[in-house]
């Protein structure tokens, strides 16, 4: 949410209508744009004469409506659960004057340096502990998007089943972009049929259970920021769904992100310990990280993350299946 080179733009009436009643728009500054999206800061004067600002995202893609619905629902769920951890979503919808869709939330002046590991571990664990799945199941009530790609968030009472579908659909997205690769296909078949049940079924065997926790879904350093005025941590750009709490931090293992220092995982687990069987939690973390590697490959054709995914799965298959 930090500003780059800015230019003044006009605001569509549908966006104005989404603002709180009485807000007078003072200025709209565009500070990032691409062939599919525009972001801007909207400065307003509320009825009480104070000053407030909003962050605006306008999408111009064929799936723009579904994407803004997913982002709004995900951020609203996080904000409702722990309002000190996310900017307040204000609205979403279709613009009147052009074929675009928008998402708008409170604006924060954010420092994008790496977050404090202790603070992040505490707040993330609080989000997970406070959250309560409205169905008691894993999933979400709308499709959410990791970047530009949709996730399978269909409700499922069984975590093994849910994760298998999530992983399978992400793999299919990767194949559509990068093409069929026999080596990846071979390990994915074993992973879906045998490895995922082997590692995840024990979470709910012998009388154990796991709570569906609300996770951000794509929690890397660019989606975490520190408020420059208060020092509070905030998260944004969520593709949230209810999941096993350990799934959230699989992304912190991935080398293509800067937050791969073990201290982040260690501080989180101080506040929300791994599930039983604890001795297998690091391999579950490795398994969860593969979903991140594959969806990164689907976003960036030719990325090394595809090869890394194969290596990680080969390691796990060799350890647990062969």
The single residue listed with the structure tokens 């991935």 is 254
Count of structural domains, the chain: 2
d(CA 242, CA 131): 9
Assess contact for 42 and 57: CB atoms under 8 A: no
Residue 261 — φ and ψ, nearest 5°?
Answer: -65, 135
Can you give the residue range of the structural domain that contains 262? 114-320
User: Do both 182 and 75 map to the same domain?
Assistant: no
In this predicted structure, what is the pLDDT of residue 32? 72
User: Do both 211 and 77 map to the same domain?
Assistant: no
Contacts 24+ apart (CB under 8 A), 311-318: 312/286, 312/287, 313/187, 313/188, 313/190, 313/191, 313/195, 314/187, 315/286, 316/191, 316/195, 316/199, 316/283, 316/286, 316/287, 317/187, 317/190, 317/191, 317/194, 317/195
Residue 2 resides in a domain: no
State in Å, rounded, how far the first CA of the chain is from the last one: 47
User: Do both 144 and 62 map to the same domain?
Assistant: no
Q: What is the CATH number of the domain that holds 196?
A: 3.90.1200.10
Residue 44 — φ and ψ, nearest 5°?
Answer: -135, 160
Q: What is the CATH number of the domain that holds 73?
A: 3.30.200.20
Question: Of 107, 129, 159, which one is at a domain's C-terminal end?
Answer: 107
Write down the pTM of the prediction: 0.95
Assess contact for 187 and 208: CB atoms under 8 A: no
- Mean pLDDT value across residues 263-283: 97
The single residue listed with the structure tokens 């969860």 is 288
Residue 32 resides in a domain: yes
Question: Helix 159-178 and helix 281-299: axis angle, to 10°?
Answer: 30
In this predicted structure, what is the pLDDT of residue 97? 87
Name the token pair of 213: 């926790």
The distance of Cα 235 from the centroid of its chain, to the nearest Å, equals 9
Residue 1 resides in a domain: no
Q: Is the pLDDT of residue 6 over 60?
A: no
Q: Is the pLDDT of residue 298 over 80?
A: yes
Q: Is the pLDDT of residue 7 over 60?
A: no
User: Do both 178 and 122 map to the same domain?
Assistant: yes
Identify the burial level of 217 via C-beta atoms within 10 angstroms of its C-beta, where 0-12 means exposed, 13-18 middle and 19 or more buried.
Answer: buried
User: Do both 160 and 99 map to the same domain?
Assistant: no
User: Do both 133 and 274 map to the same domain?
Assistant: yes
User: Do both 146 and 248 map to the same domain?
Assistant: yes
User: Do both 102 and 250 map to the same domain?
Assistant: no
Question: Of 107, 130, 156, which one is at a domain's C-terminal end?
Answer: 107
State percent of the chain over pLDDT 70. 97
Peptide bond into 277 cis (omega under 30): yes
For the segment 102-116, what is each residue's pLDDT rounded down to a tens digit? 999 999 999 888 999
- Mean pLDDT value across residues 255-276: 96
β-strand partners of 28? 42
User: Do both 81 and 132 map to the same domain?
Assistant: no
In this predicted structure, what is the pLDDT of residue 35? 65
Between 175 and 38, name the one with better pLDDT.
175
User: Do both 215 and 189 map to the same domain?
Assistant: yes
For the segment 124-147, what is each residue's pLDDT rounded down to a tens digit? 999 999 999 999 999 999 999 999
User: Do both 160 and 298 map to the same domain?
Assistant: yes
Q: Is the pLDDT of residue 5 over 70?
A: no
Residue 313 resides in a domain: yes
User: Do both 141 and 15 map to the same domain?
Assistant: no
- Within 159-280, where are the H helices? 159-178, 182-190, 196-200, 262-271
- Out of 18-22, 287-291, 296-300, which region has the weakest mean confidence (pLDDT)? 18-22
In which band, very low, low, confident or very high, does the pLDDT at 8 lie, cut at 50, 70 and 90? low
- Mean pLDDT value across residues 87-96: 96
Between 158 and 97, name the one with better pLDDT.
158
């Amino acid at each position: 949410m930090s500003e780059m080179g800015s230019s003044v733009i006009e605001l569509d009436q549908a966006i104005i209508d989404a603002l709180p009643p009485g807000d007078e728009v003072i200025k709209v500054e565009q500070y990032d744009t691409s062939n599919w999206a525009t972001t801007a800061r909207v400065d307003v004067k509320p009825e009480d004469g104070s000053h407030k600002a909003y962050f605006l995202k306008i999408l111009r893609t064929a799936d723009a409506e579904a994407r803004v619905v997913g982002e709004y629902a995900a951020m609203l769920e996080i904000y409702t659960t722990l309002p000190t951890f996310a900017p307040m979503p204000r609205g979403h919808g279709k613009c009147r004057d052009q074929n675009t869709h928008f998402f708008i939330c409170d604006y924060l002046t954010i420092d994008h340096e790496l977050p404090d590991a202790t603070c992040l571990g505490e707040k993330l664990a609080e989000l997970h502990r406070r959250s309560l799945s409205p169905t008691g199941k894993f999933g979400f009530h709308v499709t959410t998007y990791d970047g530009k790609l949709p996730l399978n968030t269909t409700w499922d009472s069984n975590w093994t089943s849910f994760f298998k579908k999530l992983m399978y659909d992400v793999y299919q997205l990767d194949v559509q972009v990068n093409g069929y690769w026999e080596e990846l296909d071979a390990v994915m078949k074993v992973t879906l049929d045998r490895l995922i049940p082997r590692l995840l079924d024990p979470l709910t065997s012998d009388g154990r259970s796991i709570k569906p926790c609300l996770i951000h879904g794509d929690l890397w350093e660019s989606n975490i920021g520190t408020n420059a005025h208060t020092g509070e941590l905030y998260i944004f750009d969520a593709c949230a769904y209810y999941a096993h709490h350990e799934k959230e931090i699989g992304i912190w293992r991935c080398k293509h992100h800067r937050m791969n220092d073990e201290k982040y995982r260690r501080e989180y687990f101080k506040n929300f310990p791994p599930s039983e069987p604890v001795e297998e939690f690091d391999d579950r973390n490795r398994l969860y990280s593969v979903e991140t590697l594959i969806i990164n490959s689907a976003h960036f054709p030719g990325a090394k993350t595809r090869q890394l995914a194969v290596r990680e799965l080969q390691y796990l298959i060799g350890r647990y299946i062969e």
